[in-house]
């Protein structure tokens, strides 16, 4: 995946996480405040850390 696409996805995830964090009282009053930003950081980190899946060449049978 090109870095520009990863950057756009990272920003999109950050915007959604920020919106969820601001609305966390309406989503679930018992939700810990640290959970939403932690999951957002995990998602962005995993996007940049793990390599893309590649299709293996077909083996002749």
Decide if pLDDT at 10 tops 80: yes
For residue 46, what pLDDT is reported?
A: 94
DSSP secondary structure, the chain, as one string: --HHHHHHHHHHHHHHHHHHHHTHHHH-TTS-TTHHHHHHHHHHHHHHHSPPP-PPPPPP-
For residue 58, what pLDDT is reported?
A: 81
Mean pLDDT of 46-53: 88
pTM score of the predicted model: 0.78
Q: List, for residues 16-35, the tens digit of each pLDDT value.
A: 999 999 998 887 888 888 99
For residue 13, what pLDDT is reported?
A: 96
For residue 60, what pLDDT is reported?
A: 77
Burial of residue 36 (number of CB atoms within 10 Å: 0-12, 13-18, 19+) = buried
């Amino acid at each position: 995946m090109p870095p520009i696409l990863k950057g756009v996805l990272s920003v999109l995830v950050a915007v959604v996480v920020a919106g969820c964090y601001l609305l966390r009282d309406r989503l679930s009053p018992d939700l810990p405040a640290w959970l939403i930003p932690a999951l957002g950081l995990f998602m962005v980190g995993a996007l940049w850390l793990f390599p893309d899946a590649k299709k293996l060449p077909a083996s002749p049978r």
